[in-house]
Chain A
C-alpha cells in the first residue's frame, strides 16, 4: 500500500482534475457548437501568430543591447530595456497561444480519427508539454534577467515551435488521407 503522503497527493490531483472537468463542461459544449466551421489548417494565410525564428533571434539578440549601451544615455537605455522586455514577452505569449491553438486543432481532428497512431500522438504531446514548459521558463527568465540573456533558449523555442507546427500539419494531412481512404473503402 502507498504512503499517506502519496495517497494525499494522488487524491488531490484526482479531485482537482475532476473539479476542472466539472467546471469545463459548459465551455467545451460552447466550443463544440463553434468549432466545426473553423478549418484545421489554413495554408493560404499560413499561421499568422507564429513568428519566424529569425524574428525571435533578433528580439533576443545582444547586438541591439550592445549598440544602445554604446550610446551612453541612461534614459535611452532604460526605455530600450523596457520596450525590449515587453516585445519579448509579447512574442512568448504569442508563441504560447499559437502552440495552444495548434494543439487544440490537432486534438479536434485526432479525437474523431479512425486510425490514430499512438506513438506519434504521444511524441506530439511530449513536444507540446516541452514547449509550454519552455515558454513558462522564458516568461520568468525575461522578467528576472531580461531578454538578452535568454537568447539561446528563445531561439530553441522558436525553432521547436515551428517544427511542432510542421509536424502537426504533416500529421493532419496523413490522418486526413488515411481516414479518407478508410471512408472510401467503407463505401
Chain B
C-alpha cells in the first residue's frame, strides 16, 4: 500500500511537471529532459499496471531501469551543452576531464574482466547497474566541480535539473551498493527509500522548473582588444626602461 502511494505520487508529480513545461514553453528549451520525464511516466504507468508477481515484470523492470539510465546520460549531456554554451574554455576542460574519467572507467573494466572473465555472465542486473551508476555519478561530480572552480553561473531551471538528478543518482548508488552487499532486501526500509528519492527529485524539478528562468550570460565578451592594448602598452614601457638601462650602461 505504501509503495503504491509513493508510485502514484511520483506519477502525479511527473505529469504536473510535464503539463507545467508545456504551459511555460520549457519543453522546447530542454527537450531531452522532458523526453526523459515522459519516458519515466510511461514506464511507471506500465509497471504499475503489470502484476509485480509475474515473471515478465522482472524483465520489464530491468529494461526500464537500464533505458532510464541511458536516457539519464543524454539528459546529462544536454545539461552540459546548455550550461557551457557561452563558456568554450570551461567546456573544453569539462570534455578533457570527462574523457579522463571515461578512460579510467574503461581501463578498470578491462582489468576486472581480465581477472574475472565470467563476470558479465554471472553478474546480477543490480551489480551492472551499480557500476554504470557510479560512472554516471563521477561524471556528475566532475561537472559540478568544474562549475564550482570556474564560477559558472546558471539559472534556476538548470540548477534544479542538476540538483534533482544528482540527488537521485547519489541515492541510487548508495542503495545499489547496499543491495549488492546484501544489506538491503525486498520490503526492507532501504527498498522504500529508492522510490522516495526519485519522488524527492521530481519535487526538486517541479519547484525549479515551475517557470522559465534564463541562464545568466556574461554582459559582454571579455574585452580582448582592450586587454591586448594593455599588454602592448606594458611591454612598450618595459622596453623603454630596458633601453634606459642600456643607455646608462653604454654611457658609463
Stretch at the interface among A9-17, A52-60, A66-74, A160-168: A9-17
For B176, the chain A residues whose CB sits under 8 A away are 1, 7
* Contacting residues, chain A, for B118 (C-beta < 8 A): none
- B173–A107 touching, CB < 8 Å: no
For the complex, what is the distance from the CA of A122 to the CA of B89, rounded to whole Å?
13
Q: How far is the CB of B49 from chain A (nearest CB, A)?
A: 31
**CB-CB < 8 A to B170: which residues of A?**
10-11, 14-15
Instruction: Indicate if the CB atoms of B174 and A7 lie closer than 8 Å.
Output: yes
Interface membership of A145, Cβ < 8 A? no
B88 touches A112 (CB 8 A): yes
Closest approach, in angstroms, between the C-beta of B241 and any C-beta of chain A?
A: 12
User: Could you list which residues of chain A lie within 8 angstroms of chain B, going by C-beta atoms?
Assistant: 1-4, 6-8, 10-11, 13-15, 17-18, 20-22, 24-25, 28-29, 31-33, 36, 39-41, 43-44, 104, 107-114, 116, 118, 121-122, 125, 172-173, 176-177, 179-180, 183
Q: Across the interface, do A114 and B88 meet the contact criterion of CB distance under 8 Å?
A: yes
State the CA gap A44–B241 with chains docked (Å).
13
Q: Is the CB of A4 within 8 A of B177?
A: yes
- Complex interface residues of chain B between 206 and 237 (CB less than 8 A to chain A): 216, 218-228, 230-231, 233-234, 237
Minimal Cβ-Cβ distance residue in B for A39 = B230
Set A21, A32, A113, A118: member contacting B216, Cβ < 8 A: A32
In angstroms, Cα B152 to Cα A104, docked, is 12
Contacts of A173 in B (CB 8 A): 231
Contact indicator A8/B174 (Cβ below 8 Å) = yes
Nearest A residue to B87 via CB reads A111
Q: A32-B153, A104-B151, A110-B150 are in contact. Are A11 and B173 (CB under 8 A)?
A: yes
Tell me if B167 and A18 are in contact (CB < 8 A): yes
Query: Can you give 29 A-B contacts (C-beta < 8 A)?
Result: A1-B134, A1-B177, A3-B181, A4-B181, A7-B173, A7-B176, A10-B137, A11-B173, A13-B141, A14-B137, A14-B169, A15-B166, A17-B144, A18-B166, A21-B144, A22-B159, A22-B163, A24-B151, A25-B156, A32-B218, A36-B219, A39-B230, A43-B234, A43-B237, A109-B89, A112-B88, A113-B89, A177-B228, A179-B224
Count how many pairs of residues, one from A and one from B, have CB atoms less than 8 Å apart in the complex: 151
Residues of B near A14 (CB, < 8 A) are: 137, 140-141, 144, 166, 169-170
A45 to B228, CA, bound (A): 17
Whether A1 lies near B130 (C-beta < 8 A) is yes
Instruction: Report the separation of the CA atoms of residues A31 and B152 in the bound assembly, to the nearest whole angstrom.
Output: 10
Q: How far is the CA of A125 from the CA of B144 in the complex (A)?
A: 16
Shortest beta-carbon distance from A62 to chain B in Å: 36
From residue B197, how far is it (CB to closest CB) to chain A in Å?
A: 11
**Which B residues are CB-close (under 8 A) to A28?**
151-153
**Contact (Cβ within 8 A) B231 A43:** yes
Stretch at the interface among B4-12, B33-41, B71-79, B90-98: B90-98
Q: Are A112 and B174 in contact (CB under 8 A)?
A: no
The residue in chain B whose Cβ has the minimal distance to the Cβ of A36 is: B219
Q: Is B189 an interface residue, CB under 8 A from the partner? A: no
The reply to whether the CB of B239 lies closer than 8 angstroms to some CB of chain A is: no
Known interface pairs A1-B177, A4-B177. Does A180 touch B130 (Cβ–Cβ under 8 Å)? no
B154: interface (CB < 8 Å): yes
For A125, the chain B residues whose CB sits under 8 A away are 149
